[in-house]
Amino acid sequence: MHSGQWWALYGASILIMLLCYGAVTLRQQSLIDGRALRVFDALRRSLITLPSAALTAVIWLLCAPLVLPMVWLSLAWTVAVCEGLGPLQACRRSIALVRGNALTLTGSYLATLAAVLVFVMLVGIFFGVVMSLAGQEGARTGVAVSRVLFAALLSLPVIYVSAMLVSVQRGARG
């Protein structure tokens, strides 16, 4: 079992991740809308919507094993952050936005998932080759460096998925 400190750190890291992801989503929305939003303003707005967005994410995760509800609620988190709605209102809004586009969105999500998986595998293979060439001494330092670089490279798909979800939300709104 894990200690209380471990769970506190785990929970804090999830909240920080949601805060940063919300700021990225709000920045993407402002770029799509053609208006300026400073990074600190995006972080502030993301912090304001954090409780609602976190509850919306929990609702979405509870539906994750079921594909159809997951697609219907796929825009709930984006709606909670961008429109400032509560969790249940965001879920209702997501269902309204997805209605009529569920098959198209499912195809887009599957294609994006495949692209992200290929990207992650290629990056992992690259780091594996570099670390094996570094030898045992270089592997110790290489592990720390590769974790930081891998995390940095994984931020690229997050930015892409965020832009895609905001674009889908905007397109569905009409």
pLDDT, tens digit, for every residue of 29-83?
A: 888 788 888 889 999 999 998 898 888 888 877 876 777 788 888 888 888 888 8
Range of the domain at 46: 4-173
The tens digit of pLDDT for each residue in 79-117 reads 888 888 899 999 999 999 888 888 888 888 888 878 878
The dihedral over CA atoms of 112, 118, 120, 125, expressed in degrees to the nearest 10, equals -170
**How far lies 75's CA from each of 22, 57, 128, in Å?**
13, 10, 35
Please name the residue that has the structure tokens 């979800």: 165
The tens digit of pLDDT for each residue in 120-165 reads 788 778 777 777 776 666 666 666 676 777 777 777 777 777 777 7
**Could you give phi then psi for residue 60, rounded to 5 degrees?**
-65, -45
* 68 close to 58: Cβ distance less than 8 angstroms: no
> What pLDDT is stored for residue 138 in this prediction?
63
pLDDT higher at 168 or 100: 100
Q: Given a cut of 90, is residue 173 above it in pLDDT? A: no
* 25 close to 166: Cβ distance less than 8 angstroms: yes
Number of domains in the chain: 1
Among residues 24, 57, 56, the alpha carbon closest in space to that of 42 is found at 24
> What pLDDT is stored for residue 107 in this prediction?
84
Reduce the DSSP state of residue 3 to 3 states and report it: coil
> What pLDDT is stored for residue 48 in this prediction?
92
> What pLDDT is stored for residue 103 in this prediction?
84
Q: What angle do CA 153, 32, 122 make, to 5 degrees?
A: 20
Lookup: tokens for 67:
């594909």
> What pLDDT is stored for residue 155 in this prediction?
72
> What pLDDT is stored for residue 44 in this prediction?
93
Q: How far is CA 43 from the centre of its chain?
A: 15
Entry pTM: 0.67
CA distance 34 to 68: 33
CA distance 93 to 99: 10
Helices 76-83, 87-98: axis angle to 10 degrees equals 120
* 24 close to 162: Cβ distance less than 8 angstroms: yes
